[in-house]
Amino acid sequence: MWKKEILTETVFVYTSPEHRFGTDAFLLSEFSAWKKKDLVCDLGTGCGIIPMILQRNKPPAHVWGVDIQEQAIEQFQKAINECGFESRITPVCADLKTLWDDAPLEKLDLVICNPPYKAYNAGIESSMTAQKIARHEILCNIFDVCNSAKKLLRYGGRLCICNRPERLSDCIYAMKQNGIEPKRIRFVAKTPEDAPWLFLLEGRKGGKPFLNIMPQLHVCDSIEVHNFYHGGNNS
């Protein structure tokens, strides 16, 4: 059974036990600093939460949302149709490793991905296939994400991802191996006293080495995080 989750008066998504979203989708969307002129692709879009978040305030020129799971794309498509976003968003059921026939190669300004956090066979896997795919690197890994982003991005285009701190070296290595230079990173913690549970990382295709470490974001009692949920990007 699908549930309608309201983002604004005119924007919503459909969730299910298999395809849901969490705080990290809002944090990553805001971190991406999208612009109105941008052509954007969200890899592993699930229910389409990130493309829909981008519609809340000054939406980009166009967004592709890609997922290999048919039910996820069906949920996404239903929300697109009911919100009237057919001209702004293109849902694609495809394997991000091979992309799709008319993919906008070397044309995009921004690729976003909230990838599976756990390496294959790491940790306790969920019994649900959809959750395994979302949480574990079963159908794709961080190198696959960066390789596809390299194919989609124009020179100077940006890739924004999030992941757990223990995967930071893997993510930086995968970006560099695909000609995407890490340029900006922000760690996320519950409080100033806690260790980070997430990082947000931006890389630029063809960029020169220079990594800007941003102030740590604290999600508890944070006006900034409240604004992420309710205000969206103001680019």
Is 97 a residue whose pLDDT tops 60? yes
Is 145 a member of any domain? yes
Is 109 a member of any domain? yes
Mean per-residue pLDDT, 191-197:
95
Mean per-residue pLDDT, 217-223:
81
Hey, what are 188's tokens?
């996320």
Looking at the chain, the whole-number percentage of residues with pLDDT higher than 90 is 78
Is 56 a member of any domain? yes
Mind listing the pLDDT tens digit for each residue in 134-145?
Answer: 443 456 799 999
Is 235 a member of any domain? no
Hey, what are 23's tokens?
């705080």
> How much is the pLDDT for 220?
85
Grouping H, G, I as helix, E, B as strand and the rest as coil, residue 10 is coil
Higher pLDDT residue, 146 or 21? 146
pLDDT range class, residue 129, cuts 50, 70, 90:
low
Number of compact structural domains in the chain: 1
Q: What is the CATH number of the domain that holds 56?
A: 3.40.50.150
| 73 vs 22: CA distance, rounded Å | 18
Q: Which residue range is the domain that position 110 belongs to?
A: 3-230
